[in-house]
Amino acid sequence: MDHIPRLSEVVYVGLCRKIGAPTEVAMRRDIMDMEEMINKHLYMHIGGWMNSGSYREGFRFASSDVDIMFWSWNHKLITDISQLRVYDPSAYEIILMEDSDTPPGFVTLRLLTPQNSRLILSLVPFKDGVFISSSLWREDYFQTLINNEYFQQTNITIHGPCSSGFVGDLEFDHAVCFASIFWPKISGGWVDRCQRHTWPPIPVLEKILRNGCHCVPIGSKIESTSYELECRLSFSQAEKQLVCTMNHTQFLCYGLLKIFLKEVSY
């Protein structure tokens, strides 16, 4: 068994070469932080902007792509009708997240305020209200991108909730979304488990809860009367915070799982 410590050291060094040494990963994240900060100022008058996915976490695999999420400041997403008082209905379009008739992890989005923006292109009447159609919303954003000069040579296609394409050799996924500063009730069980097992650390958990979540335009694979209205909850901000709490050995193990999933299993 004397060879095991030596073998572990070799595996660690090999993974650092494949995934990145601690300083390399830190530098990648710092660069992404700076890019995000600059772009937030550039797009401040339009909406919010966030990098997500493997590239944001610090990986640079051949299969890694750039995931970008974008949302408008004009739309305010709430998880409970009591939160309506937080926003001025005359200044914002307020959207209520409902999960009573959807599979776990998916919601429908009901518009609570008058229809006075391009969002009207994605609205459909359903039961006793007006809801956002995820397929119409996704298609509308896709058309916006292909009409943009920057993306006209990138052969964009719709993939899941994203508009996907290539800039040179780099693949990108653009996802339009709604942002909420509120944590959804459906994920309360995860918060309980975190508090029970004391991971992530309490300050990190509190930051995750303050940052809320997003909704992206893709339904579940379960056919239902509300299938076209379903949107998926996205916890990309939380995932980024969790990955950043890992030490480098944990990060390498996480990367190894990604290698098995994305490169070995294909």
Residue ranges covered by each domain of the chain: 74-234
CB atoms within 10 A of CB 118: 10
By DSSP bridging, strand 213-216 and strand 178-180 are: antiparallel
Instruction: For the chain, give the number of residues.
Output: 266
**Segments in 43-132 forming alpha helices (H):** 54-57
Q: Is 70 exceeded by the pLDDT of residue 238?
A: yes
What confidence category does residue 118 fall into, taking pLDDT thresholds of 50, 70 and 90?
low
- 3-class DSSP state of 26: helix
Q: Is 80 exceeded by the pLDDT of residue 180?
A: yes
**Segments in the chain forming alpha helices (H):** 3-19, 22-42, 54-57, 134-146, 188-197, 202-211, 236-244, 248-259
Compute the C-alpha angle 64/145/35, nearest 5°.
50
Q: What is the pLDDT of residue 186?
A: 87
Lowest mean pLDDT among 61-65, 178-182, 189-193: 61-65
What confidence category does residue 121 fall into, taking pLDDT thresholds of 50, 70 and 90?
confident
Class of domain 74-234: alpha beta
Mean residue pLDDT across the chain = 87
What confidence category does residue 266 fall into, taking pLDDT thresholds of 50, 70 and 90?
low
Q: Which range scores top for mean pLDDT: 37-46, 76-85, 253-262?
A: 76-85
